Structure 1
């Protein structure tokens, strides 16, 4: 039976740094943090969406060989991965709060297509689009 997506993986260069960013700055909560040797399964979730976990994974063995892991780290650092989308009630207010906490924005809030959106990056280079929808549901 198909019940939906449980974990979406995101490659990060340093899991402790990513944990500090996602929990300390964005307000996510830790769901799972377990180790098996050098491998760490680390997931967080948004407090209003606990059924969808965001996996903060290092590109490393046993999933990737060394050369592929290095390539993935370079691609992520360049911001070349597709952006994730964070829905917010107040884009401008959230922008000011996150910016004051040191979040790196690549685009301030702008109105377009009936929404207000802004872009930011996590410490590894992963892009996020933060959207306040103003369209009627």
Structure 2
């Protein structure tokens, strides 16, 4: 029996801003986009791992108003789990993110004591995104 990762959900408050960051700035590819009941789900993949889908969705989509509001509040505070990416060109990726101006830079590329070189950002919704050198 094998178990593998297929999807990762990321809550976003503005799907268009998130799409601009993840597709246009980081270079992910849109696999699917679904509209339902006034909300959108956008599925993206990386070219190196197309079997792992990143699903951007709004906190209120598919849940009660109360639960959606709680998730939105956590998102606004930057308290939801973030994403960790790898790249073969951290400096180039960092400069691309900086030039796009659609993410808050938290940490410029730096060598970490745990053995990786990485950078950190907040996406347009406030999610932590770390990118390390492959």
What's the C-alpha RMSD, in Å, of the aligned pairs? 1.7
Q: 1:88: how far off?
A: 1.1
1:106 equivalent in structure 2: 106
1:72 equivalent in structure 2: 71
* SS in structure 2 at match of 1:50: coil
Looking at structure 2, the residues matched to 72 and 37 of structure 1 have their Cα atoms a distance apart, in angstroms, of 18
- 31-40 or 103-112: bigger deviation: 31-40
What TM-score do the two structures reach when normalised by structure 2?
A: 0.88
What TM-score do the two structures reach when normalised by structure 1?
A: 0.86
Question: Which segments of structure 1 move beyond 6 Å, counting only runs of 4 or more?
Answer: none
Looking at secondary structure, tell me which structure has more strand per residue. 1
What residue ranges of structure 2 are gaps of 5+ in the alignment?
none
Looking at structure 2, the residues matched to 96 and 20 of structure 1 have their Cα atoms a distance apart, in angstroms, of 16
Contact preservation (8 Å) 2:60, 2:72: no
What residue ranges of structure 1 are gaps of 5+ in the alignment?
none
Q: 1:39: how far off?
A: 3.7
Q: 1:97: how far off?
A: 2.0
Looking at structure 1, the residues matched to 18 and 133 of structure 2 have their Cα atoms a distance apart, in angstroms, of 24
1:119 equivalent in structure 2: 120
Looking at structure 1, the residues matched to 37 and 65 of structure 2 have their Cα atoms a distance apart, in angstroms, of 17
- Corresponding residue pairs, total: 132
Q: 1:2: how far off?
A: 4.6
CA deviation vs aligned residue, 1:52-76 (integer Å, no higher than 9, x gap): 1100011124x32112211211211
Looking at structure 1, the residues matched to 70 and 37 of structure 2 have their Cα atoms a distance apart, in angstroms, of 23
2:89 equivalent in structure 1: 90
CA deviation vs aligned residue, 1:8-63 (integer Å, no higher than 9, x gap): 111100112211211111111101112233243321111221111100011124x3
1:13 equivalent in structure 2: 13
